[in-house]
Amino acid sequence: MNSLSNLDIIIFVFYFLLVAGYGYGVYIKKKKTTTSASHDYFLAEGSLTWWAIGASLIASNISAEQFIGMSGNGYFVGIAVAAYEWIAAIALIIIAVWFIPIYLKNKIYTMPQFLKMRYNETVSLIMAIFWLLLYVFVNLTSILYLGAIAISGLIGPEYLHTVMLALAIFALIITLGGMKVIGYTDVIQVAVLIIGGFATIYFALTIVSEKFGLGKDAFAGFKTLMTQAPDHFHMILQKPTGASSQEDVNKYLILPGIAMYFAGQWIVNLNYWGCNQYITQRALGADLQTARKGILFAGFLKLLMPIIVMLPGIAAYVLHKNGHLPQLGGMDGAYSAILGFLPPGLKGLAIAALTAAIVASLAGKLNSIGTIFTLDIYMKYFKKKTIVTENNLSATAQTKESEEKNMVWVGRMVALVAIFIAVVFEWKDMLGIGGEGGFTFIQKYTGFISPGVFAMFILGMFWKRTTGTAAVAGLVTGFAMAIFFNSFAVSIFGHENYMFTAFINSKGQYEIPFLINMGWAFFITIIVMICVSLAGPKINPKAFELDKTMFKVKPSVIAMIVATILILVALYAKFW
């Protein structure tokens, strides 16, 4: 570890021991409770407080794709990438007020379970398989690879595979303790993440200030960023013209200006935060008020995240542009390059923060993979009749206890297999994540199923006429339309029409911004689902019962919502 001092190593080891020790303490304590083994492992059985739920949501969400990928997009595009974080705050308000009450009232613990209750088992099974493949081959692999790249960039590229294995093992250890251990260790993880993140950006700004002869002044450093890179401080990118550079076109393809706010940006956020097992699982075991406050607390924390994960990328851009970071090889190396400037001790804290984000996200993903496989595939198709065949009550109780332990064992084994697959596929970056740019890789490939999935959920929740046949049609249509707009729409409709404008990318090919693709795929999917549903009964027998009392919010919740919206309005007014 050539670039790390003894103090850095001590701080990092202390962090590791703190999280491991606290997690073990939570695990031992929960073993003494009477909570069912499976629900405790998969859902924490309502034992998470609102602040633990909020912290766990953020710790699981903010990972290598944000620290490395979003920082890289900050380097390349600028503050416009903060839309993913700031619009998420509004999306979390919508989920807290309207989505979570439906989940909790109907005792929904997994997303495939929602689809089975609202539609049918076919839809549920298809989506369970889809989600497992997505989590393993897109999310898990990208987080592991980007995290290993970032940390090995600080301690030496030769340690890439060692770091990858260490992250996988650390995440697996936390995962084996179950959702309660994940939730409460995430409180420590997010505290380290925020403290280390703010310390990193403070020193990054003082470094910028020093390099430009302004002394150690973080505020002067921030002003320097705005002066040296004014184009990096606009939330809305202008649509390219014939005179625009290829770089400006490439930026617009990632973040297509005001158009993305009427298209895929909302689908990305509402689908991710409201229809995603990996995220909603944290709140599904709690009561309504606790879940709501936890989700809104996460929304407030999302407002802070661009400062931590995006500003270092802009700082790296300004330093590189002025010759102070000549060794920077690409945008995904921006965050690691900034960490290289940090003094002994703080570098260890920053690496601990980065590791905290990566491990928390990996552990959350692994638990969700285990939950979906165990509850929605294993128990349905392999073990669903085991308990009901017993006649003796005592034997039934023993069988149930054994079944509970078996479910936890299956969940743990699935987590082990999933992390093994991720390590194998990313040992030599077989999926090409490094070439795409980490953050864009995740958003783009998740976008192939997001339109259909979100359409199924939104209509299934709020339109009683939606049928199971419509759900299957919507899933197929959403996927087909995403592929169509991504690969065939330009050759059929041309590069300029009332639906979209395609631009020539770096490969010399016409490309439609993927957020615009998602918008049209979602719109067409909704139309198809409505048309198919109109051929069915006026009220689907499986429709959820809704009443106004479900959506009433307490004054404390209203206060949190208003505060979040006011801060967001101020941010957009400043950086529009």
**531 in a domain, yes or no?**
no
pTM for the model: 0.81
**413 in a domain, yes or no?**
yes
Residues 450, 216: Cα–Cα separation, whole Å? 45
Residues in the chain: 576
Residues 217, 227: Cα–Cα separation, whole Å? 15
| 3 state DSSP class of 241 | coil
Q: Provide long-range contacts, Cβ within 8 A and 24+ apart, for 319-327.
A: 319/207, 319/208, 319/211, 320/75, 321/228, 321/229, 322/211, 322/212, 322/228, 324/211
Please tell me the least confidently modeled range out of 126-135, 156-165, 326-335, 356-365. Answer: 326-335
Measure the CA angle with vertex 167, ends 166 and 169; round to 5°: 65
Residue 359's domain comprises 6-21+48-103+143-261+304-371+394-432
Which is higher by pLDDT, 172 or 22? 172
| Alpha-carbon distance values, 482 to 273, 457, 476 (Å) | 20, 18, 10
Residues 487, 563: Cα–Cα separation, whole Å? 42
**527 in a domain, yes or no?**
no
**282 in a domain, yes or no?**
no
Please tell me the least confidently modeled range out of 14-23, 213-222, 365-374, 430-439. Answer: 430-439
Residues 403, 397: Cα–Cα separation, whole Å? 10
8 Å CB contact between 293 and 50? yes
Residues 489, 494: Cα–Cα separation, whole Å? 7
Mean pLDDT for the stretch of residues 430-434: 67
**521 in a domain, yes or no?**
no
Residues 88, 61: Cα–Cα separation, whole Å? 11
* Residue 510: strand pairing partners: 504
Percent of the chain scoring above 70 in pLDDT: 86
Can you give the pLDDT at residue 388? 43
Please tell me the least confidently modeled range out of 14-28, 127-141, 210-224, 367-381. Answer: 14-28
Select from 71, 156, 113, 567 the least CA-distant residue to 334. 71
Please tell me the least confidently modeled range out of 54-58, 293-297, 307-311, 315-319. Answer: 54-58
Can you give the pLDDT at residue 27? 67
**71 in a domain, yes or no?**
yes
Only one residue has tokens 């332990």, namely 405
**123 in a domain, yes or no?**
no
Residues 435, 262: Cα–Cα separation, whole Å? 29
Mean of the per-residue pLDDT values of the chain:
82
Residues 100, 283: Cα–Cα separation, whole Å? 8
Map 279-328 to HEC letters. Answer: HHCCCCCCCHHHHHHHHHHHHHHHCCHHHHHCHHHHHHHHHHHCCCCCCC
Residues 546, 320: Cα–Cα separation, whole Å? 55
- The tokens describing 175, both together, are 């995962």
Torsion-angle region of 45 (φ positive above 0: left; ψ -120 to 50: alpha; else: beta): left
Helices 160-176 and 141-155 sit at what angle, rounded to 10 degrees?
130
Q: Which residues of 525-554 are buried (b: 16+ CB within 10 A; e: fewer)?
A: bbebbbebbeeeeeebeebbeeeeebeebe
Number of domains in the chain: 1
Mean pLDDT for the stretch of residues 523-540: 93
Which is higher by pLDDT, 401 or 33? 401
Mean pLDDT for the stretch of residues 3-25: 78
CATH (domain of 214): 1.20.1730.10
Q: How confident is the model at residue 434 (pLDDT cuts 50, 70, 90)?
A: low
**155 in a domain, yes or no?**
yes
